[in-house]
Amino acid sequence: AFDTLMIGGGPAGAAAAVYAARKGIRTGVAAERFGGQVLDTMGIENLISVPRTEGPKLAAALEEHVKEYEVDIMNLQRAVKLVPATRPGGEHEVQFESGASLRAKTLVLGTGARWREMGVPGEAEYRNKGVAYCPHCDGPLFKGKRVAVIGGGNSGVEAAIDLAGIVGHVTLIEFMDELRADAVLQKKLRSLPNVDILLGARTTEVNGDGKRVNGLTFEERATGELHQVDLEGVFVQIGLVPNTEWLQDSPIELSERGEIVVDAHGMTSVPGIFAAGDVTTVPYKQIVIAMGEGSKAALGAFDYLIRQ
Ligand code: FAD
């Protein structure tokens, strides 16, 4: 059995593994896909002290760093069930799709999240070629250009306000007939000179020239008419879904959005089980934040162990 076992091998799980292993405790990482969302990214320019890197390069560096230590990495293992310890200080069990199961005195859950996609033609084809999901990450790539933000909830309206200060023009497209964001955000958005808001509009296609995005087609829902907008970028902001389906039947407390609720030490509602990164309620889903939170959760787990 492990002293501490990370479920997930993204920035959060990798950071937790390095911090735990450096305490000399028996450490493991089980992940469906070591590297996590970073593998789906190209340019990364906001990992402090690394002015520019690329997703696959960073994923390889994460693995290399973890491998500097005695850590059991179990890749291609998808967790399907968590069975918490029945007594304080007991072992928790994690069961995997493969039929395997692992036991550990503490766990760090770092299964991350995924952006909800529109599922329209062109979206997958032009991902990283004009289609983006993270304004903090990719906003500066569209400096002075025209972009659309899809989604009129808080994240969409926040993204539109943020982008309006960087890009040339923003078209916010919302499916419903009204925005769902907080009133104060809507007011701010409507005060910006370089933003258009389209309501009751269903995006039907992301258009491109084969290399990059050059426009978007939407349907005016009231009339069924199709319209085109010329632009260089599309930011999809219709939700970030935490990977917690496998915890639905566990006693771990989840928020309304399905995120794992953690305290200041990264501990969940179950003693000895910690969580970090995009899967938790901690706001602003970013690599540097996931790394910090993963490190913190591992220190929390170590602290918990020495008190048993
Ligand atoms: P993840 O990276 O999501 O890793 C989750 C890990 O858990 C993976 O190993 C996954 O395989 C595993 N897992 C999931 N479910 C299970 C399961 N049931 N069992 C076992 N393992 C499981 N952030 C930035 O800071 N800068 C950027 O430039 C940037 N660009 C981005 C571009 C794109 C296209 C995307 C999608 C994200 C980008 N992000 C960026 C966000 C950043 O990638 C995330 O904030 C970060 O990866 C979160 O790390 P994490 O470890 O919490 O989760």
Residue nearest to atom 8 of ligand 1 (CA): 36
Residues of the chain with pLDDT under 70: none
Distance, in Å, from the CA atom of 106 to the CA atom of 89, rounded to the nearest integer, reads 9
ipTM: 0.99
Residues 233-251: pLDDT tens digits? 999 999 999 999 999 999 9
Predicted local confidence at residue 41, as pLDDT: 86
Predicted local confidence at residue 143, as pLDDT: 97
Q: Which residues pair with 113 in a beta bridge?
A: 242
Which token pair is 227?
């319209």
Predicted local confidence at residue 220, as pLDDT: 98
Which token pair is 219?
């349907």
Pocket around ligand 1: residues whose beta carbon is below 6 Å from it?
7-13, 31-34, 36-38, 40-41, 44, 46, 77-79, 110-113, 115, 133-134, 137, 243, 246, 277-279, 285-288, 290
Predicted local confidence at residue 88, as pLDDT: 87
49 Cβ contact list (under 8 Å, min separation 6):
none
Q: Which amino acid is present at 45?
A: E
40 is catalytic: no
177 is catalytic: no
Distance, in Å, from the CA atom of 40 to the CA atom of 252, rounded to the nearest integer, reads 29
Distance, in Å, from the CA atom of 29 to the CA atom of 41, rounded to the nearest integer, reads 22
pTM of the predicted structure, to 2 decimals? 0.93
Predicted local confidence at residue 284, as pLDDT: 94
Predicted local confidence at residue 128, as pLDDT: 92
For residue 242, say whether it is annotated as part of any ligand binding site: no
Residues 149-199: pLDDT tens digits? 999 999 999 999 999 999 999 999 999 999 999 999 999 999 999 999 999
